[in-house]
Amino acid sequence: MHKIVKSLLAASVAVSTSVAVAGNSDINNKDAMAMQEYFKNKLPGVEMSSLIHGAYALDESRFDQFMNIEEFPPYEDFVAKGEEFYNTPFKNGKSFADCFGDDPSAVKAKYPHWDSKKESVVTLEEDINKCLTDNGEKALGWKKGMMAYVSGYLATEARGQTINVVVPDDPKAIAAYEDGKKHFYQKRGQLNLSCADCHVYYGSSYVRSEVLSPATGQASHFPVYRQKWANGSPNEDGLGTLHRRYGGCNKQVRAKPFKAQSEEYKNLEFFHTSMSNGLEYNGPAYRK
């Protein structure tokens, strides 16, 4: 465990050094390290790198069950549909490769990022729809269905790569990051709970029979296949995007959810994904 924490620290220092040279802010790496140090102390014996498996990393029996499910992943067919859609040319003869480049494994890790021209955080799902509409195709829904399938395919291609969200040294980018951070720590809704209440201060604690996953590592495995979502779907389609989950979390604390791909959720994704900097992408993954 100490070896992994040391390697994460070293990687982070390396990242921050290169980041500083490239004119980027190191604000998110400092926050990510502080959160990872917090979990290191809170969860002795748990390797930080294993937190990409969420609550399953905290219990051997649950982890074994999770790995058994992952042997024949229930999302496989949906990801295959996403791959097919991604590789099917548009009516104008162009394809996703014209927007994202020839290597699909190099796409996922570029998101979320700050776009200085748009003065906004840009997400993968946003650019998938931009590519479609720029080529005269119909935009996809943001939260599930083909959007989650395509996003799931690109996540599969990026497995094993290191998460490294960069916040440029630009006051507007830093403000967006800080806005996402505030959203994460701000209590909201009738239950007066913040994202951090459940996934930092009570991350690893039980809520009835469920274990709350730590925030570190959460963004690594999206889009996610949730059994709860599959149960409510006629074709057992449980695949959903990160913003679908954000909306669900907000609803659970009885706060009015924001729209998927709203500025609020894009900024939250900017911060939230940063908190997993240094860990590996492993999406999509199964969750209860």
Partner 1 sequence: MKHLAKIAAGVSAALLLSSSVAFAGGKAAPTKENFEKALAQANAALDRAASVEGEWRDSRWKKSTFVKYKTKDGKTHKSSFLGAAEIAAADGDYASAMKFAETATFQGNMGYEQAVGQKNIGPRF
Verify binding: residue 251, partner 1, rule CB under 8 A: yes
- If the CB atoms of residues 250 and 282 are measured against partner 1, the closer one turns out to be 250
Q: How far is the CB of 116 from partner 1 (least distance, A)?
A: 25
Backbone angles phi, psi at 121, to 5 degrees: -75, 140
Report how far apart, in Å, the C-alpha atoms of 80 and of each of 30, 76, 97, 156 are.
38, 6, 17, 10
Residue 259 is a binding residue for partner 1 (CB under 8 A): no
Considering only residues 193 through 222, tell me which ones interact with partner 1, judged by CB under 8 A. 194, 196, 200-201
Which residues fall within 8 angstroms of residue 70, CB to CB, at 6 or more apart?
285, 286
**Rounded to an integer, what distance in angstroms lies between the CA atom of residue 39 and that of residue 55?**
13
What sign has the CA pseudo-torsion 200, 203, 205, 210? positive
Is residue 73 close enough to count as binding partner 1 by CB under 8 A?
no
Radius of gyration, CA atoms only, the chain: 18
Binding segment for partner 1 (CB under 8 A), chosen from 22-30, 54-62, 126-134, 247-255, is 247-255
Q: What is the largest CA-CA distance in the chain?
A: 55
Using DSSP's 3-state secondary structure scheme, residue 68 falls into: helix
Asked if 3 is part of the footprint of partner 1 (rule: CB under 8 A), the reply reads: no
Active site residue 249: yes
Contact between 158 and partner 1 per CB under 8 A: no
**Which of 182, 207, 210, 227: binder of partner 1 (CB under 8 A)?**
182
Other C-beta atoms closer than 10 Å to the C-beta of 198 total: 19
Interaction with partner 1 in 26-55: which residues (CB under 8 A)? 31, 34-35, 38
CB of 188 to partner 1, least distance (A): 7
Query: Is 256 near partner 1 (CB under 8 A)?
Result: yes
Residue of 73, 74, 141, 189 that binds partner 1 (CB under 8 A): 189
Least distance from partner 1 to the Cβ atom of residue 186, Å: 5
SS3 sequence of 257-288: CCCCCCHHHHHHHHHHHHCCCCCECCCCEEEC
Q: So which residues are the catalytic ones?
A: 249
Chain residues binding partner 1 by CB under 8 A are 31, 34-35, 38, 181-183, 185-190, 192, 194, 196, 200-201, 250-251, 254-258, 264
